Amino acid sequence: MIYLDYSATTPVDSRVVDAMSPFFNASFGNPSSVHRFGQIAESAIDSARESVARVLNCKPDEIIFTSCGSESDNLAIRGAAYAMREKTGAKWILASRAEHPAVTKTLEHLGKYDGFLIEWLDVDERGMVTPEIVAKAICGDTAIVSVMYANNEIGTINLIKEIAEICRANDILFHTDAVQAAAYLPVDVNELGVDMMSLGAHKFYGPKGIGALYARKGTALVPHLTGGGQEFNLRAGTQNVPYIVGFAEALRITEEEREQRVAHVQPLRDKIIGTVLESIPDSRLTGDMESRLPHHASFAFKDVDGNLLLTLLDAAGFACSSGSACKTGNPEPSEVMNAIGLSREWGLGSLRVTLGKDTLPEHVESVLNTLPNLVEKARRLK
């Protein structure tokens, strides 16, 4: 099997495994315990927090460890929405139509059960939220704005710095889901100007089940998981010491090796995009060609069932993914495909090919030699 789904998850770097290993057995203490075992564990968390803060260019106490990127999104959006409503009465939340479900489902829940009002920001045909759209939508009753750094399905990079400046000028909290972005894009929170930023380790060769939220000092948050006083009273529960250590090490390596990783994947990505658009009739690139994640190629094929195409690819030895969600007996295009204005005959036929540091040129050649015939077969079988 050739793995071409690095935006879904990445293998854990062996250096990360080595850093984590001692905290499963030799240094197994609970970081909340007073004795020496606990002190060793607590010290490991403190060191990890400092390491993450160095990469993000922030203070260590602005880093909150969570179980994943989705939980970080939940804490940021729920926590800030509740706090701002309590503080100012603001009840509007703005977010793009192309956000990850960790954001969209959270907002739908807040609207249905907590009385918040949600305004969905339109994206253009590239899936981008323009700063002008944000500026036009903001009002005095806006509690928080959430726009993702880079889109998981179509790879488009948003103008986060410009959007943050608009929010700052209007004294409104700005959150970005940077889960897809952190593997390849700069995450200096002061340069970006964000108030909150969500990260998940398994997108950059760390373990699954660990994430982090950056929350700028002074950002009011209501905890969404209550209990003990861990993570500055914002996220209760015994801390996952080995995974926190793994998160920090994976992010440190990512920052250190970012340029060489980009240099490795981007030419391969460009070859995939160019060859697919030339060799497969009725194909189109989804997302922006220029403002795009360097490892990310995504397409829509007219009159193709994307889920069938994935099955054919899997049988041929390639692991890829699709933007379309498969619902029993009723497959529909994803919300992102709808948001960028694709008709159903195009939106159902989405394909995402994402590369990683272990992707080889021969892997790319192999999938490019195979894909045209599989798309043709999928059209026949539709």
Domain with CATH 3.40.640.10 in the chain: 14-254
Give the model confidence (pLDDT) of 75-117 as tens digits.
999 999 999 999 999 999 999 999 999 999 999 999 999 999 9
pTM reported for the whole predicted model: 0.96
Task: For residue 108, give the amino acid letter.
Answer: E
Q: Which token pair is 37? A: 């075992």
Question: Tell me, which fold does domain 14-254 have in CATH?
Answer: Aspartate Aminotransferase; domain 2 (3.40.640)
Q: Would you say residue 324 has pLDDT above 90? A: no
Give the model confidence (pLDDT) of 27-43 as tens digits.
999 999 999 999 999 99
Q: Would you say residue 255 has pLDDT above 90? A: yes
Mean pLDDT of 182-199: 98
Annotated catalytic residue 326: yes
Give the model confidence (pLDDT) of 128-142 as tens digits.
999 999 999 999 999
Mean pLDDT of 206-219: 98
Q: Are strands 63-66 and 92-96 parallel, antiparallel or unpaired?
A: unpaired
List 68, 139, 167, 326, catalytic entry: 326
Helix, strand, coil percentages in the chain from 3-state DSSP, rounded to 5:
45, 15, 35
Paired strand residues for 212: 65, 199
Domain with CATH 3.90.1150.10 in the chain: 2-6+258-381
Domain 2-6+258-381 has CATH 3.10.20.90: no
**205 with 10: CB under 8 angstroms?**
yes
Mean pLDDT of 268-282: 98
CA dist 76 and 313 (Å) reads 37
Q: Would you say residue 330 has pLDDT above 70? A: no
**332 with 325: CB under 8 angstroms?**
yes
Sequential DSSP letters for 315-341: HHTEE-B-SSB--TT--B--HHHHHTT
Query: Which single residue is written with the structure tokens 């929170």?
Result: 189
CB atoms within 10 A of CB 293: 29
Local confidence band at 326 (pLDDT 50, 70, 90 cut-offs): very low
CA dist 291 and 159 (Å) reads 9
Q: Would you say residue 164 has pLDDT above 60? A: yes
pLDDT of residue 341: 96
Mean pLDDT of 306-328: 83
Long-range interactions of 48-52: CB distance < 8 A, separation 24+: 48/244, 48/245, 48/247, 48/248, 48/249, 49/244, 49/248, 51/248, 51/249, 51/251, 51/252, 52/212, 52/247, 52/248, 52/251
What DSSP character marks residue 22?
Answer: G
pLDDT of residue 39: 97
**317 with 261: CB under 8 angstroms?**
no
Q: How close are the terminal C-alpha atoms of the chain, in Å? A: 25
**28 with 172: CB under 8 angstroms?**
no
pLDDT of residue 328: 41
CB atoms within 10 A of CB 325: 14
Give the model confidence (pLDDT) of 277-308 as tens digits.
999 999 999 999 999 999 999 999 999 999 99
The half-sphere exposure of 362 on its side-chain side, counting CA atoms within 13 A, is: 1
Please provide the average confidence, as pLDDT, over all residues in the chain: 96
What DSSP character marks residue 222?
Answer: -
Q: Which token pair is 160? A: 């986060």
Percentage of the chain beyond pLDDT 70 is: 98
pLDDT of residue 332: 84
CA dist 343 and 245 (Å) reads 45
**98 with 335: CB under 8 angstroms?**
yes
